[in-house]
A = this chain, B = another copy of it.
Amino acid sequence: MNVHVGDPANGHLLTPEELEAKLRAIGAERYHHLHPFHRLLHSGKLTRAQVQAWALNRYYYQAMIPIKDAHALSKLPTSELRREWRRRIIDHDGDGPGKGGIERWLKLAEGVGLDRAYVQSTQGILPGTRFAVEAYVNFVRDRPILEGIASSLTEMFSPDIIADRVRGMLAGYSFITEETLAYFTPRLTQAPQDVDFALSYVKAEARTRVEQEAVLSALRFKCDVLWTQLDALYLAYVEPGMIPPGAFVPG
């Protein structure tokens, strides 16, 4: 859990617009588009082995998203809300074998030269990846649904980074094809649709300054989850290149 909650007692109730502005300010300061690892990834400056490490570790995040969303689903009180949230699970798990976001991420991992079964085993991921992703799943499981939904709002900032990433990676890496990056294409439409719902929800349901501060903390926490995953990749595979015992060693 993160501890950046101010002293709500001293604050007035924010208007929905003020709350949204504070959420956007958090993204501008803390979203992982600012992380040096992404700068390198998107500018074609990583080796194939470093891109493999990214794809391998990011797989665990992708694979846990429907688990996280199932915890959220279990806390939503109406069919209408659950139908809305259920779409996220369908996006990731697909509506049949070989479909969905997790499957597309496996194709990305295979596309950069990793073995599918090795990726699925999550055997080689960094402990830092595992702990950050599990912190996110547990956060949504253990906190009120208002905070769980707020923690999804990093998607407010993802269309830009995805566009940069696809453009940069296609230009920068000979081993990356449009097909390899097929994961990202549907995200460009799915993310905004998800954000429309989640943002309206938190603007409507955060009815006290304490709840509004909890919403802001939840987004800071989620930015920490994303940032920490790139920190772990950077230390292990970029600089100084300290791979922890048991983690993926590029062949």
- Chain A interface residues toward B at CB < 8 A: 1-4, 29-30, 36, 121-123, 127-128, 130-132, 134-135, 138, 220, 223-225, 227-228, 231-232, 234-236, 239-240, 242, 244-246
Contacts and interface: CB of A to CB of B under 8 A. Distances in A.
A130 B121 contact: no
Nearest to A223: B245
Contacts of A245: 29-30, 223, 227
Q: Copy number of this protein in the oligomer? A: 2
A100 B231 CA distance: 34
A4 B240 contact: no
22 contacts: A2-B127, A2-B130, A3-B121, A3-B122, A3-B123, A4-B246, A29-B245, A36-B242, A127-B132, A127-B225, A128-B131, A131-B132, A134-B138, A135-B135, A224-B244, A224-B246, A228-B232, A228-B244, A231-B235, A231-B244, A234-B242, A239-B240
A81 B21 CA distance: 54
A132 B128 CA distance: 7
A245 B44 CA distance: 25
Contacts of A220: 246
